[in-house]
Chain A
Amino acid sequence: MSPAPQDIVERALAVPGGAGRGVVVTETSEAVLRWANSTMTTNGHSTARAVSVVALEPVGAGTAAGVVSSGAPVPDLAAVDELVAAARQAARDAGPARDVAALPEPDVDDPGWDEGPAETSIGVFARLADGLAEVLPGPQRHYGFASHDVTTVWLGTSAGVRRRWVQPTGSIELNVKTPDLTSSAWTGASTADFADVDVVALAGEATARLGWGARRVALPAGRYETLLPPSAVADLMLLMVWSMEGRPAQEGRSAFAGPDGPRMGERLGRLPLTLASDPAAPGLEFAPFVSALHSGDGISVFDNGASIRRVDWLRDGAVHELAYSRAEAAEFGTRFAPPGDNLLLTGGSDAGLADLVAGTQRGLLLTCLWYIREVDPATLLLTGLTRDGVYLVEGGEVVAEVEHNFRFNHSPLDVLREATDVGATERTLPREWKDWFTRVAMPPIRVPAFNMSSVSLGR
């Protein structure tokens, strides 16, 4: 019987010596379902625990940090002492850190600290499985994946912080193809508990899109007025916000660097859009405190236990904040701005994607994007593919499916600069980055001349 997470934290903090310490215990409970060629291929439920010790050690005139993280069983509390010793040695070997800051003092009382781990089970998919049983025997070919994990985090620091957080993360993706595999459609959703997932409706939506393939057209590469649905916008905005660290912008090695320092206040487009991470966003909540197992641009192990606030990366269409650890904020004379685990783009109209289609004379409607990679960090030029459905819109209606995909080359900065229409924000699932990031709410966006660089025959 392994010791309780709280006891592991207290034991690790009780080992004498050092300049400070943080301990993070995580317990993850995960259930998955996967299907392909209209048959279930894998399912399962697993649990895992990891114990991580962040040791801060005095070295010479400074302080060093070392991290040891173990997924091995912790049979007794004596084993915790070994982890602490290893982390302390790693810190002394590392030598002085540059992001030294006093560990944050507790600023809230966490009433849930003493509670145990929260769990999921394969039963979370009961309603989904019934829905799939209805959907899979249909004439189309079905492929997809549903995942639900519940991670409980206990964080304790030598400064007295004790925080516990339960993070549910769920998503479902459906890929539906015609029997001859010539047309492919996709729908997806992110969810906390699957109570709000209607797989029959999602499959119906995908099947309706396959219906648009009754007429198929080929189009050349070129610049097209393009309607980016919320999922595609999410993938593009994530790559942008991951480039919004303060240090590279301060040092002139970022798309957010200008000749005179970071491009603070620079307007990206005419629309008053706000891009934010907010730990209190309803339905998209994430841990409101830092638990960092490494330091880097915008993040520091010395910030463990600090409360996370809402950060507006863009506000009213202009660059508003960049990510800084507390040490970096002090170094550059700015405000501590920790990265968050959700992303919200707001400020558009009330229009849904269907309204944007209705307002389109001629353009392309996309489903989602794939294999998106940075081509040039100076402009944030990205390349990638359209995937699982490109549709031709004429006179306010979808009139055909484009019988191929496109490779695009476009910067998310330019998507914002050039956007002529931004609709209503809704919760969505980023197709490309969903393994790492699911809590997003995005609007559909109209871009007047999206750069479709070449035709891809990949389906």
Chain B
Amino acid sequence: MAPDRIDPAFRALPLHRLADAALSRARELGATHADVRIERIESQSVDLRDAGVTSVIDATTVGIGVRVVVDGTWGFAAHVELTPERAVATAERAVGVARALAPVARERVERADEPVHAGVEWCSDYAVDPLSVPIADKVALLGDWSRRLLDADGVDHVQAGLAVVRENKFYADLRGTSTVQQRVRTAPGLTATTVDRGNGTFETMSSLAPPAGRGWEYVTGTGWDWDDEIARLPGWLAEKAAAPSVEPGRYDLVIDPSNLWLTIHESVGHATEYDRAIGYEAAYAGTSFATPDLLGSLRYGSERMHVTGDRTVPHGLATVGYDDDGVATTEWDLVRDGVLVGYQLDRTFAPRLGLARSNGCAYADSPHHVPLQRMANVSLRPDPTADRTTDDLIAHVDDGIYIVGDRSWSIDMQRSNFQFTGQRFYRIRNGELAGQLRDVAYQSVTTDFWGSLAAVGGPSTWRLYGAMNCGKGQPGQSAPVGHGCPPALFRQVRVLNTREEAE
């Protein structure tokens, strides 16, 4: 990862001059901590309907955010203008906010220590910056995918889209840490629809390709086999449209990584956010059943459940070198042998849990927003002792369903009762797949579901998925996050028929 890949236009900004101006002013005004973020976020989206362009949008966000601690109270201010005068004024406003808040802030801010990381640079792992590729090439690629699908039997409509982002972030603080970072992400989407006018019904099938911390190479064959998936989508769609409706009941489920990642996100990822667990999000996103008093004792799932948090896995959407607290990122355990053993933290929350160091989960989605504790890549470990394949897991099921791809999702305010659907559902009989089903939803409670985990696939089955826009906070912030997992076998999970639910 050569440091010279960092966008020259970002490097050309007076990063250190602005930071020095803001930090010195904050120190003069009595700040015991101050940090500066200067960011430039460029994004682009291209959308096609039935192979014709519907929308092409380019967007840029720029700004400087200054965060301070004065007399134990946070203050934050931001501005779009990148001049030393404005940096000083923004620091003054941040100090002003801290002083204004002090009378109503009952808790004094204490932050975990972190070694100084001076003058470090980090760039994510990709081959071709997706913003460097002309829009015409993107339109051509999506048009080609769309036409291949539209040419197939039974495909009446195709939606295709591509969103790409390049995030440049500079961070500097009073202790002397300063980082320059760049990362990219690429989110392709492709959905085929078949319409049965006579019966007044329709059905869709979407690509399973997740958004990824990869560049343009991702849509040209690195990390995803587009040709294979596009060739097979129409057949999968036709089979689904003609498939029998599921008989509701309890089934053994083999869940593919393309579906399980979202269940992990909702039932483990959000539940192990420390700020949620202590009530900071209670009025909005909610709290967590996994409260800190249960750390080390809560039986989250079966002993086969080992979930980690990390911000380091290559191509992970939450992966970065240093977080928005200036903390070097790492990997740690959240659930080990089925027991809750950790939380996602920033430098403010680490000491409350008695920890000397943060695990690096501070993130703000914009220079104009204050960093929150946001989700790391939260991932399920494969079985380290046996490299079972998906077929091996299916072979262990007499009467069940194999679920592929995500679609509908919903979970309660304490991350307990959930319901998910998917893209494809295959009946399993006597250890073998027996054709698709339709109208399947699975519904469970987090600890029941993970308690029913009977087996996980081996290292060769582990896949990385994720989401571009995980929401949290008020005002709302959006964060990219990755989730890796093997396929896994869950025993006797409640399955609903979504047509019957609607009757």
Task: Give residues in A with beta carbon < 8 Å to B.
Answer: 30, 32, 34, 36-37, 39-44, 46, 48-49, 64-73, 86-87, 89-99, 141, 143-145, 147, 173-175, 177, 186, 251-254, 257-259, 293-296, 301, 370-379, 381, 383-385, 387, 405, 407, 409-411, 414, 435, 451, 453-459
Contact indicator A32/B413 (Cβ below 8 Å): no
> In the assembly, what is the distance between CA of A421 and CA of B419, in Å?
30
B417 contacts which of A37, A43, A385 (Cβ < 8 Å)? A385
Assuming the A-B contacts A251-B157, A409-B496, are A39 and B105 also in contact, with contact meaning beta carbons closer than 8 angstroms in the complex? Answer: yes
Residues of B within 8 A of A89 (CB): 135
Within 8 A of A (CB), among B60-91: 60-63, 74, 76-78, 80-82
> Interface digits, B492-503 against A, CB 8 Å rule (1 contact, 0 not)?
001010110110
B502 contacts which of A173, A411, A458 (Cβ < 8 Å)? A411
> In the assembly, what is the distance between CA of A34 and CA of B198, in Å?
53
Residues of A within 8 A of B279 (CB): 36-37, 141, 143
Contact indicator B410/A414 (Cβ below 8 Å): no
Please tell me if B443 contacts chain A, counting CB pairs below 8 Å: yes
Residues of A within 8 A of B202 (CB): 252-254, 257, 377-378
- Interface segment out of the listed B250-258, B283-291, B332-340: B283-291
Residues of A within 8 A of B443 (CB): 407, 453-454
With CB as the reference atom, state the residue of chain A lying closest to B106.
Answer: A39
Task: Give residues in B with beta carbon < 8 Å to A.
Answer: 40, 46-47, 49, 52-63, 74, 76-78, 80-82, 97, 100-101, 104-107, 134-136, 139, 156-157, 193, 195-202, 204, 278-284, 286-287, 289, 368, 370, 408-417, 419, 421, 439, 441, 443, 445, 474-476, 494, 496, 498-499, 501-502
Residues of B within 8 A of A90 (CB): 56-58, 135
Contact indicator A94/B139 (Cβ below 8 Å): yes
30 contacts across the A-B interface (CB closer than 8 A):
A32-B475, A66-B135, A73-B81, A86-B58, A87-B58, A90-B57, A93-B139, A96-B52, A98-B52, A143-B282, A147-B474, A174-B283, A252-B156, A253-B204, A259-B200, A296-B55, A373-B408, A375-B441, A376-B502, A379-B502, A381-B498, A385-B412, A407-B443, A409-B501, A409-B502, A453-B501, A456-B412, A456-B416, A457-B417, A458-B289
Contact indicator B280/A36 (Cβ below 8 Å): yes
Contact indicator B412/A458 (Cβ below 8 Å): yes
A67 contacts which of B57, B287, B441, B494 (Cβ < 8 Å)? B57
Contact indicator A93/B195 (Cβ below 8 Å): no
Q: How far is the CB of B273 from chain A (nearest CB, A)?
A: 14
Contact indicator B58/A456 (Cβ below 8 Å): no
Residues of A within 8 A of B278 (CB): 37
Residues of A within 8 A of B76 (CB): 42, 44
A458 contacts which of B195, B413, B499 (Cβ < 8 Å)? B413
Q: How far is the CB of A305 from chain B (nearest CB, A)?
A: 18
Assuming the A-B contacts A40-B101, A296-B55, are A376 and B498 also in contact, with contact meaning beta carbons closer than 8 angstroms in the complex? Answer: yes
| A-B contacts, CB under 8 A, total | 241
Residues of B within 8 A of A44 (CB): 76-77, 97, 370
> In the assembly, what is the distance between CA of A251 and CA of B49, in Å?
12
Residues of B within 8 A of A144 (CB): 283
Contact indicator B56/A41 (Cβ below 8 Å): no
A407 contacts which of B56, B63, B410, B498 (Cβ < 8 Å)? B410
> In the assembly, what is the distance between CA of A98 and CA of B439, in Å?
34
Contact indicator A147/B417 (Cβ below 8 Å): no
With CB as the reference atom, state the residue of chain A lying closest to B416.
Answer: A458
Contact indicator B156/A251 (Cβ below 8 Å): yes
Residues of B within 8 A of A454 (CB): 417, 443, 494
Residues of A within 8 A of B195 (CB): 251-253
Contact indicator B283/A175 (Cβ below 8 Å): yes
Contact indicator A383/B57 (Cβ below 8 Å): no
Q: How far is the CB of B45 from chain A (nearest CB, A)?
A: 8
Contact indicator A376/B499 (Cβ below 8 Å): yes
A69 contacts which of B57, B81, B408 (Cβ < 8 Å)? B57
B445 contacts which of A145, A372, A457 (Cβ < 8 Å)? A457
Contact indicator A30/B408 (Cβ below 8 Å): no
Contact indicator B409/A145 (Cβ below 8 Å): no
Contact indicator B496/A257 (Cβ below 8 Å): no
Residues of A within 8 A of B421 (CB): 375
Contact indicator B410/A372 (Cβ below 8 Å): yes
Residues of B within 8 A of A92 (CB): 136
Residues of A within 8 A of B47 (CB): 294, 296
Most chain B CB neighbours (cut-off 10 Å) among A70, A72, A375: A375
B410 contacts which of A30, A186, A385, A457 (Cβ < 8 Å)? A385
Q: How far is the CB of B54 from chain A (nearest CB, A)?
A: 5
Assuming the A-B contacts A32-B474, A39-B106, A252-B195, are A97 and B53 also in contact, with contact meaning beta carbons closer than 8 angstroms in the complex? Answer: yes
Beyond the given A72-B80, A456-B412, A456-B416, please list 19 additional residue pairs across the A-B interface where CB-CB is below 8 A.
Answer: A37-B279, A42-B76, A43-B101, A46-B78, A49-B80, A69-B59, A72-B40, A93-B139, A98-B53, A257-B202, A294-B47, A295-B55, A370-B286, A379-B502, A387-B413, A411-B502, A451-B501, A453-B419, A457-B289
Q: How far is the CB of B87 from chain A (nearest CB, A)?
A: 13
Q: Which 7 A-B pairs have the closest CB atoms?
A: A458-B412, A93-B135, A458-B414, A456-B417, A143-B283, A175-B283, A252-B195
Contact indicator A384/B55 (Cβ below 8 Å): no
Contact indicator B283/A71 (Cβ below 8 Å): no
Contact indicator B496/A73 (Cβ below 8 Å): no
Residues of A within 8 A of B412 (CB): 370-371, 385, 405, 407, 456-458
Contact indicator A91/B416 (Cβ below 8 Å): no
